[in-house]
Structure 1
Amino acid sequence: MEKGKVSEFLKKYTMVIVLVIVVLFFTWQTGGRMILPQNVNNLIAQNAYVFILATGMLLCILTGGNIDLSVGSVVCFVGAVGATVMVNMKMNVFIGIIVMLAVGLAIGVWQGFWIAYRRIPPFVVTLAGMLMFRGLSNIVLDGFTIAPMPQGYLNLFNSYIIDFFGGQGLNITCVLIGVIAAAIFILITFKGRMSKIKKGYAVNKASNDIIRCAIISIVIIGFMWRLAQYKGLPNMLLWIAVIVLIYGYITSKTTIGRHLYAIGGNEKAAQLSGINTNKVYFFAYANMGLLAAVAGMVTIARLNSANPTAGDSYEMDAIGSCFIGGASAYGGSGTIPGVIIGATLMGVINLGMSIMGIDMNWQKVVKGLVVLAAVIFDVESKKNSR
C-alpha cells in the first residue's frame, strides 16, 4: 500500500483502531472480565443514553460546532414528569410515554425557536435551559425520589427478546439476528457499490470492501454471540438501533441532512444557495429535545426510579462522543456511525475503569484527555490538509 493511501486509511479509521486497542487493553488489565457476556450487556444498558443523546447532539454540532448544554437537565425533567404521571397519578404506561415525548419535543421547540428565529446563541439558550430544567425537576420531584416504575414500563426497556428456538445456555435467536444483520450490511455495501459503478462514480477496490465487510461482520456476530451467552438480545439495543438507523438515514439520504452539512460548512453560502437556515437550526434543536426525552425514558427504566440527580453530566458524555467519533468542532463534518464508535469508546472506558476499580475522579480526568486529544487531532488534521 502506498504511503499516501496508508495515511488516508489511518486518518479514516483512527478511532476504530483506537477502540480496538482500548478494548484489548482493558481486556488484558481486567483478566478478560471486560468481555464477559454480562459486561458486554452492561455496556449497552449503562451507556444507552449516550448513544441516543450523541445521535441528536451530532445534528446540533453539524450546524457549526453548536452544542446543547441542557440535555442532562431535560433527561431529568422528562423522567420526573413521566414518573409523576405513571407512579403518582397511576396513569397508563403508554400515556406516560406520550407525555414524556411531548414534553421533550416541546422543550426542543422552545429552545429551537430562540436559537433559529431570534438568533440567540445556542450556548446561551441551552445554558439557560440547563439551569431551568434542573430546577423544574427538583420542583416536580420536591427533592424526593419516585420509585419503582410500573412493571409494564420496565418490560419495554429492561427485558430481552425471547429465544424462539429454546436454546440452552445460548440464545439462538440472538445469534441468528446477528448473522442476518451482518448479511444485510454486506448486501447494502455491495448494492451501493454496484449503484456507484453504474453511475460512473469512483469506488474503493473490491478487496478493500470485502475486507471491511468481513471485519464488521465478525464484530457484529461476535458481539451478538457474547450477548447470546448471557440473556440474549436486550430491548434497549433495539431502541438504540432504531434511532441510529433513522437518524443515519436522515443525515445521509435526505435533503434536510445535506442542509445540516451545508450550514456547518458555510452558513452564508448556504443562505445564498436558497437554504432556509432558520428551519434547519429549528429542526436540529427540536430533534435534540425529542431524543433527550427518549434518553429520559431509558434512564428512569434503567434506574427504576426518577431522582433529582439523574442526567448529571449526560451532556458532556454526548458532546464528547461526537468529537471522539470524528465530528468537527467547527461543524460541517461527522457521521452517525462515527458517533456510535465514539459513544462505544466512551462506554468501554467507563466500564473498563469501573471494573478495574479506578476512582471516579480519575475516570473524569481520562475522559477529558480523550476528548481533548480527539479535538486536537481534528484541528491539526484540518491545518495539515490546508
Structure 2
Amino acid sequence: MTPDVTSQRADNTVPRGAFGGSQRIQQLFARYKILALLIAVAVIWIFFSALTHGAFVTPRNLSNLLRQMSITGMLACGMVFVIIAGEIDLSVGSLLGLLGGVAAILDVNRHWPIGVTVPAVMLLGVAVGLFNGWWSTYRRVPSFIVGLGGMLAYRGILLGVTGGSTIAPVSDSFVFVGQGYLPRFAGDTLAVVLFVLLAFLTIRQRANRQRYQLRVVPIWQDVAKVVGAGAILAGFVATLDRYGGIPVPVLLLLALLGIFTWIATQTVFGRRIYAVGSNLEATRLSGVNTNRVKLAIFALMGLMCAFAGIVNTARLAAGSPSAGSMGELDAIAACFIGGTSMRGGSGTVYGALIGALVMASLDNGMSMLDVDAYWQMIVKGGILVLAVWIDVMSGSNRR
C-alpha cells in the first residue's frame, strides 16, 4: 500500500507545480480583465497614431470613431444579455438594416414626424425580438437557427420594402439623432454629474459591504478607481469639446450603458439572466419562469436593433438596403473580446462596450492606413478566434 500512496502523492504534486504559474496568470487576467482591455485599447491607439503621424488621435477622428462605435455598442448592449443567457442571435445586423429602412420610409415617403417615427420603429423592434424569442423558447427551435433564418428573411424584407434602392434624404430633425452634438456647457455639466454619481455609488457600495460585514478593498483602491475614472472622463469630454462636443449617438450609448449595467447588477431580472445562463435547469426548478426571461432578453435585443437602426440611418442621412451587413459579427465579437463567456453565465455590459471600442478602433485605424478590405476581415476574424480561445482556456483552467 505504501508505494501506491507515495506514487499517488507524487502524481498529485506534479500538476500543482506545473500548472501553478498558469493558474496565477489566469487569476490575474480574470481579476484585471477590464484593465487589460483598456491597456489593449491604448496600445492600439498608440500604434495607429504612430503610423498615421498623429492623425488617428485628433479630436475630429476620435469623435468620428466614437460615433462609429456607438452603433456596434448598441447592438452589443443587447447581445451581451443574449450570450449571458446561453443563446445567440445572428439576425441583428439584418434587423438593424430593416428597422433603419422602415424609419427612412416613414420619414421620407410617409412624412411622419420624428416623435412618431422613433417610437413606432422601437415598438416594431420589440415585436420582432419577441417573435425571435417565441420561436427559440416556446417552439424549441435553437436560437442559432432562428437567428440564421432571420438574417436571411429580414434582409430579404428590407430589399423588398426599399426596392433595392437608397431612401433619402431624411429630415433635418432625424439627421440630428445621428449627426448632432450636445452643447459644450451641457456636456461639461453631464461629466460633472457622472463623476459625482460614480463617487456616490462607490461610497454607498463600500458602506453596504461594511454593514453586512463583507470583505472591503483598501480605501486607496476605491479612491484610485474614482480618480482614474474622473481623469478619463475629463479627458474624454475635453477632447470632444475641441470638435463640436459630445455626439448625440455617444450620449445615447452612455445612457444605455448606465441602464443596462443597472439592470444587470441591481435588479432581480438581471440576476435571473445570469442564473439562466449558468444553470438553466436549476434555475427553472427554483421557480423562475426561464422562458419569460429569455423572451424578455430577445425583446431587449430587438429594441437595441431599433436604436442602432435609427442612429445608423440618421448618421448616413439615408436608409440603405445594405445597412447592417456583418453587424451581428461585430456585436458578437465585441462581447467575446469584452470578456463575455461563450458558455453563458458570465459577462458585463461595460466589457462588451470596450470590446466594441476595440473593433471600431481597428476598423478606423486600418481604414486610415488604406489597408485592403480582405486584410481587415482577416485581422478581425483572428481577434475573434483569439478572444474565444482565451475564454476556453480560462474555463479549462477553472475546471
> What range is the shorter-chain TM-score in?
over 0.9
Which of 200, 211, 222 is matched with 2:235 structurally? 222
Q: Secondary structure at the match of 2:184?
A: coil
Match of 1:25 in 2: 47
Determine if the alignment matches structure 1 residue 47 to structure 2 residue 69.
yes
Q: Does 1:93 align with 2:76?
A: no
User: Cα offset for 1:20?
Assistant: 2.2
Cα displacement (A) at 1:192: 1.0
Aligned-pair distance for 1:320?
Answer: 0.3
Report the 3-state secondary structure (helix = DSSP H, G, I; strand = E; otherwise coil) of the residue aligned with 2:66. Answer: helix
2:319 aligns with one of 306, 328, 331: 306
Query: Using the alignment, how far apart are the partners of 1:202 and 1:269 within structure 2?
Result: 28
Partners in 1 of 2:178 and 2:63 — Cα distance?
Answer: 13
What is the number of residues matched between the two proteins?
Answer: 375
SS of 1:361's equivalent?
A: helix
Which residues of 2 match residues 340-359 of structure 1 at below 5 A?
Answer: 340-359=353-372
Highest Rg: 1 or 2?
Answer: 2
Q: Which residue of 2 aligns with 1:198?
A: 211
AA paired with 1:29? L
1:125 aligned counterpart, secondary structure: helix
Question: Within 5 A, what are the aligned runs for 1:238-277?
Answer: 238-277=251-290
> What is the letter of the counterpart of residue 124 of structure 1?
I
* CA deviation map 1:75-103 (0-9, x unaligned): 11111111111111122222211221121
Whole-angstrom CA distance in 1 between matches of 2:187 and 2:320:
33
Q: Which residue matches 1:169?
A: none
Does the aligned pair in 2 maintain the 1:174–1:225 contact within 8 Å? Answer: no
Deviation, 1:236, is 1.3
Whether the 8 Å CA contact 2:184–2:241 is kept in 1: the answer is: no
1:70 is the counterpart of 2:88: no
Q: Which amino acid aligns with 2:350?
A: P
Structure 1 residue 6, shift from structure 2 partner? 7.5
Amino acid of the structure 2 residue aligned with 1:157: G
Show structure 2 runs of 5+ residues with no match: 1-20
Render the CA deviation track for 1:331-369: whole Å, top value 9, x for unaligned. Answer: 000011111111111111111111222112111111111
Moved more, 356-365 or 51-60: 356-365
* SS at structure 1 position matched to 2:182: coil
Q: What letter matches 1:125 in structure 2?
A: V
* Counterparts of residues 135-214 of structure 1 (less than 5 Å): 135-164=156-185, 173-214=186-227
TM-score for both structures, normalised by structure 2: 0.90
Q: CA deviation at 1:114?
A: 0.9
Question: Would you say the 8 A contact 2:76–2:352 is kept in 1?
Answer: yes
Do residues 320 (structure 1) and 333 (structure 2) align? yes
Q: Secondary structure at the match of 2:394?
A: helix
Question: C-alpha separation between the residues in 1 aligned to 2:142 and 2:192?
Answer: 46
Look up the equivalent residue of 2:359 and give its one-letter code: M
1:287 corresponds to: 300
How far apart are the structure 1 equivalents of 2:264 and 2:159?
36
CA–CA distance in structure 2, aligned partners of residues 23 and 353 of structure 1 = 11
Whole-Å separation in 2 of the counterparts to 1:110 and 1:227: 40
Are the equivalent residues in 2 in contact too, given 1:144–1:308 (CA < 8 A)? Answer: yes
What is the CA-CA distance between 1:176 and the residue it aligns to? 4.3
Structure 1 gap ranges (5+)? 165-172
1:156 Cα offset (Å): 3.1
Distance 2:28 2:41 in 1: 15
Amino acid at match of 2:304: L
* Bigger mean CA deviation after superposition, 50-59 or 203-212: 203-212
1:56 to 78, 93, 102: 78
**Two-structure CA RMSD over aligned residues (Å):** 1.7
**In 1, Cα distance between the equivalents of 2:369 and 2:199?**
37
Structure-2 residue corresponding to 1:170: none
**Partner AA of 1:347 in structure 2:** A
Q: Which ranges of 4 or more aligned residues in structure 1 deviate by more than 4 Å?
A: 3-7
Amino acid at match of 2:344: G
Q: Are the counterparts in 2 of residues 73 and 311 from structure 1 also a CA contact under 8 Å?
A: yes
Partner amino acid, structure 2, of 1:145: T
Q: Deviation digits for residues 167-207 of structure 1, max 9, x if unmatched?
A: xxxxxx53443343233222222221122111111122222
When residues 320 and 6 of structure 1 are mapped into structure 2, their CA distance, relative to the original with a 3 A threshold, is: closer
What secondary structure does 2:169 align onto? coil
Q: What fraction of aligned residue pairs are identical, expressed as a percent?
A: 35
CA contact (8 A) 1:74 1:292 kept: yes
**2:38 equivalent to 1:16:** yes
Normalised TM-score (structure 1): 0.93
- CA drift of 1:216 comes to 2.0
Moved more, 285-294 or 96-105: 96-105
Q: Deviations over 1:228-251 (max 9, x none)?
A: 111012111221112111111111
Shift of 1:71: 0.7
Give the Cα–Cα distance (whole angstroms) in 1 for the partners of residues 184 and 251 of structure 2.
15
The one-letter code sitting in structure 1 at the alignment partner of 2:171 is: P
Preserved contact between residue 26 and residue 394 of structure 2 (Cα < 8 Å): no
